Amino acid sequence: MTVQIRDVTLRDGLQLVGRPLPTERKVRLVRELLALGVEHVEVGSMARPDLVPTLADTLDVVAELSDEERDRAWVWVATPRHVERAAAAGVRRFQYCLSASDAHNRANVGRDAEASVAAFPDALAAAQAVGGTVQLCVATAFTCPFDGEVPIERVLSIVDDPRTDGAVDVVIADTLGQAHPGEVRRRIAETARLRPGLGLVFHGHDTWGNGVANALAAVEGGATVVDGALGGLGGCPFAPGASGNTATEDLVFGLRPSWATPEAFGELVRLGEEVTTTLAEPDRARSQAGARSGAHAFGWVVDD
C-alpha cells in the first residue's frame, strides 16, 4: 500500500482555534514537517481574514518559503480572484474548493455549487498562467450540515463535469466526519473510475471516531494521499457539527507511509503536543496517548 500524507494543520487545523499561531512558527512548522518526510502541507487559505482571522497571514507564510518548499505547499482558494492574488504572492499549488451541497457552498463561499463549477476554468487559467497546478476539492462529499446525506450522484456529477478538466487531483472531503468506511471506499472508487488519470486525495475528520478507518478505506478505493492535522485540530466554521481532522500522528502510525519510523513518529507527537499547547487546544491524537503510555517494550513509545 503506497500512501502519502498531507498535513493540513496550518489551514483546516487553525480554522476554529481561538488564538493565532505566529507567522514565524507557521514557517518553521512547514519546514519541520517536510524535513520529517511529510510529502505535502496546506499552508493557509485565501478566505476573508475577518471571517477566518487565524489564516490572515497566509501570504506572509508563503513569502518566507523557498521555491522548493512552495512546490509542496497548497493554499485553499474558492474563486479566480483568490487564485490571482495568491499567484501574485508566489503560490503555485492551489486547492480550489466547492461543496457538493448548495446549502454549504452558500454558507462557505456565498454562492451555489454551479457558480463555483462555472468559475473553475477561469481559476485554472489564472493558475496555469504562472505555471501552477490546481486540485479540485469537493467538500461535503458525504453529508451536509444543512441538507443531510449528499447523494453520490451529486458528487460524481461535479467530478465528471467537463468544466473541471485540467485539475491534477480530486480531493473528496468528509467535511463533517460522518462517513463510514464502506461508503468512503465506494465514493473514492467511483471517483477513480470516472477520472482515472487524476490523483485522488481523501480529506477526513474524526468526529465520529472513524478517521483512520475511513482513511484506510479511501486508500483501498484508490486514494494515494490522505489529509490530517496535528493533534486532530480543525473543523469548518461554516459547518455546524464538524470537529477536528483525523490526526496526522494517527494516520502515520496506522498507514505507515514510506518515511514513517518510530523516530519520525515521535517527532510528530512532540510537534502535535507543542502546537496544541501553544493554541490552548486539547491534543486529540489517539496515538499520542499510546506514545506516552510508558509501555517501553514497544518501539513506537516516545521517550523524552
Active site residue 236: yes
Mark residue 222 as left, alpha or beta (left: phi above 0; alpha: psi -120 to 50; beta: remaining): left
Nearest-CA neighbor of 150 among 181, 119, 174, 169?
174
Contacts of 261 (CB under 8 A, 6+ apart): none
Contacts of 298 (CB under 8 A, 6+ apart): none
Marked catalytic residue, from 97, 137, 144, 236: 236
Residue spans of alpha helices (H) in the chain: 23-36, 58-64, 67-70, 80-88, 102-109, 113-128, 152-159, 181-194, 211-221, 248-255, 262-278, 286-291
Q: Which SS3 state, helix, strand or coil, does residue 157 take?
A: helix
Cα Rg, the chain, nearest whole Å = 18
User: Active-site residues: which are they?
Assistant: 236
